Structure 1
């Protein structure tokens, strides 16, 4: 689609028009003109929206994505920032695997209750400690 207006872009991308306006406001995308009262974008804005969605799924915040992509047409992704996020994902994956294993153990534990299961108690303790430290 050549130069979609905001409603066409919202429909084709699945990103609400209000979100597209916000992305424009913070510099993630930019309109190239107007068709009547509607903003018009270049066709390559779909690539930027795809990169934004990928970045969000990888755990980047919008301001981080904006810094990675720059404010012009061609994104300049920082290899160092990408490596750092990949390292953070590795840590998160390892933590989630430990959590999964602990939950499976608790589900099959023969203790009279989950709160009497030593492994489940460790999960509770780790979660409580992380919450105090401001970590998810």
Structure 2
């Protein structure tokens, strides 16, 4: 089985070695093996880190991600994932709405054309929604 040193793994997943050590310390990555005192990880760790990054982008906390990863070998994983995802969807929907409102506010400011924040009619009239 191919093993990756921490530096090589860090380059492949575009993270700092310190972040990988942190992930290991909080239980997101299993303890690394050691070769001549240096951390080495199975090549499959790249896929695990991709899953962690995807879950983080979706708004899951590290504790939630660890909970899912800990249950990975367990039969309840699908149920657990479904429950976490169902709780996360409304939060993501709110984030999307807020982001759209911010995007519209920026577009409105560009359309105004004045680019003078001190005297912009949009900002003083309350036309641009608060996000």
| Paired residues of 1:29 and 1:71 also in contact (CA < 8 A) | no
2:50 is matched with 50
Deviation (angstroms), 1:118: 2.7
Which residue number corresponds to residue 97 of structure 1?
Answer: 100
4+ long deviations beyond 6 Å: 71-74
Deviates more, 1:84-93 or 1:19-28: 84-93
Q: Is this contact kept in 2: 1:28–1:71, CA < 8 A?
A: no
User: For residues 68 and 117 of structure 1, what CA distance do their matches in structure 2 show?
Assistant: 48
Q: Could you tell me which residue of structure 2 aligns to residue 37 of structure 1?
A: 37
Question: Any gaps of 5 or more consecutive residues in structure 1?
Answer: 128-136
Which structure's relative contact order is higher, taking Cα pairs within 8 Å and 6+ residues apart? 2
Distance 1:47 1:13, change over 3 A: same
TM-score normalised by length of structure 2: 0.76
Classify 1:11/1:71 alpha carbon distance in 2 versus 1 (closer, same or farther; 3 Å). Answer: farther
Question: What number of residue pairs does the alignment pair up?
Answer: 122
1:41 aligned counterpart, secondary structure: strand
Q: How many angstroms apart in 2 are the aligned matches of 1:13 and 1:100?
A: 30
Partner of 1:87: 90
The change in CA–CA distance for 1:98 and 1:5 in structure 2 (over 3 A counts) is: same
Structure 2 spans left out of the alignment, 5+ residues: none
User: In structure 2, what is the equivalent of residue 116 of structure 1?
Assistant: 124
Contact 1:27–1:71 under 8 Å retained in 2: no
From 96, 104, 109, the equivalent of 1:106 is 109
